């Protein structure tokens, strides 16, 4: 089965945290091209507002703002959580790194749970790394197939990045 983003995202309300960053900006453009109604939450710490398509709604704010996150997540059927501090900022200010990367993620997770049924996606190491041989990971072949399907989906949404 081939992943068809337009069928998955067309007409859906999608929130992308960190949507003004390099990966987030590409994702937002592709989601908009597939007909999604996209809202971007970004504090522009490293992101750039110019990468956000004009057809997407931009909210300048942080995932550390629990109330704002709760409001935006409640309005979305799918959430892509990409907001994070980069390694340079993390080493200069570990507390800010913790508040954004850990506290912000907790805010998104709690908000999604409170909002009820819906999707939550995040990009983790399994997406960026090629699917390993199941024997090497000690996981079933079915899991390896699921990882490959997930990667194919991300590649369809992020051509040229993955």
pLDDT in tens, 75-112: 999 899 999 887 777 788 888 888 988 899 899 989 98
Task: Tell me: do 65 and 104 sit in the same domain.
Answer: yes
Q: Using one digit for the tens of pLDDT, what is the confidence trace for 114-162?
A: 988 777 766 543 333 333 344 444 444 444 444 455 555 555 555 554 4
User: What CATH number is given to the structural domain containing 79?
Assistant: 3.40.50.720
Pair 151, 75 in one domain: no
38 DSSP β-pair partners: 14
Nearest CA-CA partner of 126 in 107, 139, 112: 139
The range of the structural domain enclosing residue 69 comes to 5-123
Same domain, 153 and 108: no
**Are residues 48 and 60 in contact, defined by beta-carbon separation less than 8 angstroms?**
no
């Amino acid at each position: 089965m081939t992943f068809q983003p337009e069928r998955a995202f067309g007409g859906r309300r999608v929130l992308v945290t960190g949507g003004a960053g390099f990966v987030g900006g590409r994702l937002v453009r592709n989601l908009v091209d597939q007909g999604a109604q996209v809202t971007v939450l970004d504090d522009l710490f490293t992101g750039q507002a110019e990468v956000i398509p004009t057809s997407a709604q931009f909210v300048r704010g942080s995932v550390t703002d629990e109330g704002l996150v709760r409001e935006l997540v409640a309005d979305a059927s799918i959430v892509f959580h990409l907001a994070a501090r980069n390694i340079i900022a993390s080493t200069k200010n570990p507390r800010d790194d913790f508040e954004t990367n850990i506290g912000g993620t907790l805010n998104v997770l709690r908000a999604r749970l409170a909002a009820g049924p819906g999707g939550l996606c995040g990009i983790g190491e399994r997406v960026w790394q090629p699917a390993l041989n199941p024997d090497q990971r000690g996981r079933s072949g079915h899991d390896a197939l699921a990882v490959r399907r997930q990667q194919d989906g991300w590649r369809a949404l992020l051509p040229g990045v993955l």
